[in-house]
């Protein structure tokens, strides 16, 4: 590589890193990493395997880039991002190499009949947070290895900063800002289900699942604070958040919305499944013996997400259902649509919904 070529490539890399670190959403940042490294390495397939704090695999993202030439001779680049549903059969070769990388704590390469399989660990606080995986026809040069390590280090450091900014300090749950970010992504995907401009991960999310949003509130929390003090109150908040996380599935999203109020967004095929998920959360809290307080309960109001309704109205419907649950005695789970069908709530009008 000549000095001029190295300078040009370095300038391009700095531009890509600048674009990547301007992103304010962790999932979009993960996609940006794959879009950045693929072209730099001259490969069309890259993958990202993400782990949570318990070293459990929570997300697998595949990126593919293809080129075509139209009738006017213009080169068009098409990108596909595909998030794989967990539980699908894993690639044995990749799984084996990931295990080796985990044990050694450094990148590993395996030569197959056709190409090289390469896996890099992605570190965060000296802990493996995931793996960057790709295949190509030749081994990496020393310069390419340095480049990949550098990009992954920048990504991991920036991801950690971004993740902290979207976490509640007490419970470490996603915060209100993270909720607003996910509102934008979910509504965009649902509104444009058939749009050719959507990535595959957005189309998959829009087509394969129904979303349900719940507002969850700890019953009589003010009484807990007044009786036992704020230190005990904080401990209850922390324990309740941990119990809810354990009761929810890995794919479900849980946020601390403010005070003793939480918001959950889940995917469920139908209302019965959604109700079972939220009931499981309620029962987990009800069954637990808390220090000093002993028994705590929660009330839940939820609604199916309608892409044609503004997020603030969807949140309002779940909140109204929560308020009704509290009025009817607390420690219960109410569905907005069931309250409408039973005549407790009036059927929403277009004016109420404020359609897009």
Distance CA 312, CA 226 (A): 31
Residue 260 annotated in active site: yes
Give the contacts of 145 (CB within 8 A, at least 6 positions apart).
107
In a domain, 170, yes or no: no
Q: Evaluate if residue 216 carries a pLDDT over 50.
A: yes
Q: What is the mean pLDDT of the chain?
A: 85
What's the pLDDT score for residue 289? 96
DSSP letter for each residue of 163-210: HHHTB-TTT--B-HHHHHHHHHHHHHHHHTTT-TTS-HHHHHHHHH-E
What's the pLDDT score for residue 62? 93
Number of domains the chain is built from: 2
* Residues 341 and 229 grouped into a single domain: yes
* Residues 180 and 152 grouped into a single domain: no
* Residues 122 and 222 grouped into a single domain: no
DSSP letter for each residue of 266-301: EEESSHHHHHHHHHHHHHHHHH--BTTTB---EEEE
DSSP letter for each residue of 299-318: EEEEEE--TTB-HHHHHHHH
The one catalytic residue in 30, 83, 235, 260 is 260
Confidence category of residue 182, pLDDT binned at 50, 70, 90 = confident
What CATH number is given to the structural domain containing 57? 3.30.450.40
**Domain-ending residue, one of 107, 133, 165:** 165
Confidence category of residue 24, pLDDT binned at 50, 70, 90 = confident
pTM check: above 0.75: no
**Domain-ending residue, one of 123, 145, 165:** 165
In a domain, 171, yes or no: no
Find the domain containing 156 and state its range. 3-165
Q: Evaluate if residue 205 carries a pLDDT over 50.
A: no
What CATH number is given to the structural domain containing 240? 3.30.70.270
């Amino acid at each position: 590589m000549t000095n001029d070529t190295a300078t040009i490539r370095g300038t391009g890399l700095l531009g890509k890193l600048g674009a990547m670190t301007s992103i304010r959403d962790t999932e979009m940042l993960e996609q940006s990493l794959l879009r950045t490294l693929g072209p730099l390495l001259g490969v069309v397939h890259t993958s990202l395997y993400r782990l949570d704090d318990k070293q459990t695999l929570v997300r697998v993202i595949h990126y593919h880039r293809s080129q075509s030439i139209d009738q006017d001779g213009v080169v068009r680049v098409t990108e596909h991002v595909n998030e794989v549903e967990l539980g699908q059969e894993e690639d044995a070769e990749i799984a084996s190499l990931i295990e080796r990388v985990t044990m050694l704590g450094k990148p590993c390469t395996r030569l197959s009949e056709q190409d090289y399989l390469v896996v890099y660990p992605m570190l965060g606080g000296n802990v493996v947070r995931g793996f960057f995986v790709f295949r190509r026809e030749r081994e990496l040069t020393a310069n390419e290895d340095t480049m990949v390590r550098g990009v992954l280090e920048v990504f991991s450091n920036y991801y950690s900063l971004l993740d902290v900014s979207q976490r509640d300090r007490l419970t470490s749950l996603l915060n209100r800002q993270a909720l607003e970010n996910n509102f934008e992504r979910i509504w965009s995907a649902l509104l444009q289900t058939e749009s050719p401009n959507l990535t595959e991960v957005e189309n998959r999310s829009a087509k394969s699942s129904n979303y349900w949003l719940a507002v969850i509130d700890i019953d009589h929390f003010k009484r807990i604070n007044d009786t036992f003090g704020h230190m005990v109150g904080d401990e209850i908040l922390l324990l309740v958040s941990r119990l809810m996380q354990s009761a929810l599935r890995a794919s479900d999203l849980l946020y601390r919305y403010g005070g003793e109020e939480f918001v959950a967004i889940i995917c469920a095929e139908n209302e019965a499944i959604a109700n079972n998920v939220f009931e499981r959360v309620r029962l987990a809290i009800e069954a637990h013996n808390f220090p000093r307080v002993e028994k705590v309960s929660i009330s839940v109001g939820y609604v199916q997400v309608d892409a044609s309704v503004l997020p603030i109205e969807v949140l309002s419907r779940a909140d109204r259902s929560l308020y009704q649950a509290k009025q009817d005695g607390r420690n219960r789970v109410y569905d907005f649509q069931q309250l409408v069908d039973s005549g407790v709530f009036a059927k929403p009008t277009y004016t109420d919904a404020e359609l897009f």
